Amino acid sequence: MAIRPILLYPHPGLKSQNAPVSPDDALVQIVVQDLLDSLAASPGVALAAPQIGHRVRIIAVDVSRKQGEQGHGLVVLLNPVILVQEGQKVVREGCLSVPDYTGNVLRYQEVVVEGLTPDGRATTITASGFEALAFQHEVDHLQGTLFLDRIQSLSTDLFRRKR
């Protein structure tokens, strides 16, 4: 297992559809460990397998890495699906794969996410606030959608990060 480089936009792997996985597949544990190693080495709070070159439906979310946020701690989900979405709001969003920009994106403030843990247990998580945003962002990655695709106006809603 290893720290993998994060793919940067416009890498075609970021726009791909990604395959569901079975917890019995030996590749799953490798991808999960790569995700955890890569997330730990990054400044981000979440990462999807396609961002590190694995074209499968696995995400890792840990908003507690951001000061002042708690959430559910580290959550790794296989084949996550958002079942419920409530309370839309425009939020400023960034992405490890688009490091030079942030943008205003319409997101739900509460979501219910269902998936499998790496050991195959079905789990359902109700997330709100920043954690809900992180889950939506990562599930988007599994569908080949970037936050850039959700920006309504590139001229008014996309911002260059100050370095």
Residues designated catalytic: 138
Q: For residue 163, is pLDDT > 80?
A: no
For 100-159, the pLDDT digits (tens) are 999 999 999 999 999 999 999 999 999 999 999 999 999 999 999 999 999 999 889 999
- Spell 107-117 as b/e; 16+ CB within 10 A means b: bbbebbbebbe
pLDDT band at 162 (very low <50, low <70, confident <90, very high): confident
| CA-wise closest residue to 20 among 96, 77, 95 | 77
| Per-residue three-class SS string for the chain | CCCCCCCCCCCHHHHCCCECCCCCCHHHHHHHHHHHHHHHCCCCCEEEHHHHCCCECEEEECHHHCCCCCCCCCEEEEEEEEEEEEEEEEEEEEECCEEEEEEEEEEEEEEEEEEECCCCCEEEEEEEHHHHHHHHHHHHHHCCCCHHHHCCCHHHHEEECCC
- Geometric angle at alpha carbon 136, from 133 and 131, rounded to 5°: 35
What domains appear along the chain, each with residue ranges and CATH number? 12-160 (3.90.45.10)
For 61-81, the pLDDT digits (tens) are 999 988 888 899 999 999 999
